[in-house]
Every structure is written in structure tokens, then in C-alpha cells.
Amino acid sequence: MIKRTIEIAREPAHLAVKLDQLLIQRHEANLQTAASIPCEDIGLLLVDEPRTSYSHHALVKLLEFGAAVVICGRDHLPAGMLLPISGHTEVVHRLHDQMAVSKPLAKRLWQQIVVAKIRGQAANLPAGSSIQRKLLTLAGEVRSGDPSNVEAHASKLYWSAWLGEENPFKRDPDGDGLNGMLNYGYAVMRAAVARALVAAGLHPALGIHHANRSNPFCLADDLMEPLRPLVDARVRELRTWNLQEIGPKSKPHLLSLLTVAARVGDQTGPLMVGLHRTVASLLRCYRGEEKRLLLPLAVENETC
């Protein structure tokens, strides 16, 4: 069953739990009139209303059922995340698998991730265009570990044509407008990937390529790279609807990316489910059982 994504953004609320049901109590309401959602159905709770309050029990119960809780700051971008400390029965073995990954294996996995990302970027550009052809050529030139940083070269070309070659776009992680929407969508993906990793008993800080000492989500950042083009495509689509800022109208469209149809290997289903298949594939690669990492591929124009 696909887990639900819940957003608290339009008005203040108090979150409590009764009989394993998350109760969303609106301002000046009471528990009898509160909205009720089974905790086991929730995969991601995103809170972007600063006046929201919580019972301790509500947060604990959401974590017990494997939900990720994301808290947004004043800029409406995620400022922090609560993840369950996995109760997976093989968590110690999984951590050993992570720590035992050889550098050659990590480099080969990163190569596959970069190739998938560049191909996803190419798919976002007009078929047969000059830059699309260049990106596809670059994807074939990525070597183990990407020592030539083909990823960065491809990204520079990609953003120059993302809104059309006649309208070059400057990607700025600290920017607002379309940049802010991209940041928001990426953060949603990051949270979903981190949740899938923790559910499998893996630690999101032990990355394949990313290794920033202050980043507790290095592995999540690795695995979400091929998912960025999904966000890019949705933000560009929202721009055609004259939605160019993070707000009540644009955020639901970005959150709904977790329900788009995605193919992982020979199975198709909601992206949030597909992420668990990708993580399972990563584990098999860690153990030497497989050499190819199965990454999600969006199924065009489908939503689960």
C-alpha cells in the first residue's frame, strides 16, 4: 500500500494521537471534530505552518509507524527532519554492509547514478535538440567514479536549455522563485529517500559519493540525484500555469511527485514504493549479489 503524504500549511493545528490515529485539530476545534488519519497510512508528514503544535506522543507514534516528519522554516523550505531509528531486525548487519563497501564498488555505483541523472536531464529537453544529443553523448562518457566530473558539465548544459535555449536559466540553490520551488521538490525527494533507507536498516549518512562531515543524509543525496529531473519537469510545468513561487497552489503538485508511476526493474508502481525497491537493489549490490543498481524511471503521464 502506498503511504500518504500529509501537509500542514494553511492554518495552525495541534497534532495528537488516539488509538493509533493521528488527530489534526484545527484552531478552536476539539478532538471530537479533528480530522483523523491512521498513523500506519502516513509515509511523510510535512509541516509548513509555524503555529503548529504537537504532542510528544504524536511524534513518537508517527516514528513507530515509520513516517518521516519534515519541519519547514520561514522560507517554506524544509529546515529539519525526524526519522525513526530503525527497528529492522538486521540493522547491525546492514550497517556492516555499508561500512564494508569497497571504493571500486562505490565508484561503479556512482557511475550508474550519474548516468541515470544525465539521461533523465536529457529526457527533459526537446527530442533531437543539440543539447539533448550532447547530454546523451556525455552519459556514455561517464567513467567509474566520474573522475572527469561529467555530471557538472552536463548540468551546466542542461540548465542553459531547461527553459529553452533562447531563455537560459541560472540554477541558484539560494535563490527564490523557480529556484525555491526546485529546492522544495528536491527536499521532498530527499525525505522520501531517507525514509526508505532507514526502513531498510541503512544509515543515510554513510554515502557512496557524498561525504560532507556535516551532512547526515549523504546516502540519501546520492540516491536522489536521478530523481532531480522529475522535480525539474514538474516545476517547469507549473511555470506554464503561472505558478512560479512556493505557495499553497504549487506545493501540492510537488508533494504529489511521490505518487507518480515509476518503473524499477520490471515492476511499476508509485515512486514512494519504488524507492524501497531501489534500496533493496542497493543492498544486493553491497553484498555482491548484483552489479546493476535499479533506479526509478518515471512512466510518462501516469500517476498512481
On whether both 147 and 288 belong to a single domain, the answer is yes
The predicted pLDDT at position 77 comes to 78
Q: In what order do the strands lie in the sheet with 68-72?
A: 4-8, 42-47, 68-72, 78-82
Q: Are residues 109 and 258 in the same domain?
A: yes
| Last residue in a domain, options 51, 82, 113 | 82
Give tens-digit pLDDT for 185-218. 999 999 999 999 988 888 888 999 998 777 889 9
Question: Sorting pLDDT into bands at 50, 70 and 90, what band is 301?
Answer: low
pLDDT in tens, 112-164: 999 999 999 999 999 999 999 999 999 999 999 999 999 999 999 999 999 99
Answer yes or no: do 66 and 137 share one domain.
Answer: no
201, 90 in Cβ contact below 8 A?
A: yes
Q: What is the dihedral of CA 228, 10, 59, 88, to 10 degrees?
A: -20
Pick from 45, 64, 82: which residue ends a domain?
A: 82
CATH number, domain with residue 292: 1.20.120.920
| 155 and 48 part of one domain | no
Say whether both 126 and 25 belong to one domain.
Answer: no
Long-range contacts from 29-37, C-beta under 8 angstroms, 24+ separation: 37/4, 37/6
| CB environment 281-303: b (16+ within 10 A), e (fewer) | bbbebbeeeeeebbbbbbeeeee
pLDDT greater than 70 at residue 271: yes
Same domain for 102 and 76?
no
Residues 19 and 98 in one domain: no
**Structure confidence at residue 270 (pLDDT):** 93
> Same domain, yes or no, for 297 and 193?
yes
111 and 188, same structural domain? yes
Distance from C-alpha of 138 to C-alpha of 119, rounded to nearest angstrom:
9
Is residue 32 domain-shared with residue 146, that is, in the same domain? Answer: no
pLDDT of residue 34: 77
Contacts of 296 (CB under 8 A, 6+ apart): 226, 227, 262, 263, 264, 271, 274, 275, 278
> Are 197 and 266 found together in one domain?
yes
Domain range for 179 = 91-303
Structurally, how many domains does the chain consist of? 2
Same domain, 197 and 65: no
Which of 65, 82, 99 is at the close of a domain? Answer: 82
Q: What is the pLDDT of residue 304?
A: 56
Q: For the chain, what's the residue count? A: 304
pLDDT at res. 213: 74
The whole-number average pLDDT for the span 24-35 is 70
CATH code where residue 43 lies:
3.100.10.20
Confidence class for position 300, pLDDT limits 50, 70, 90:
low
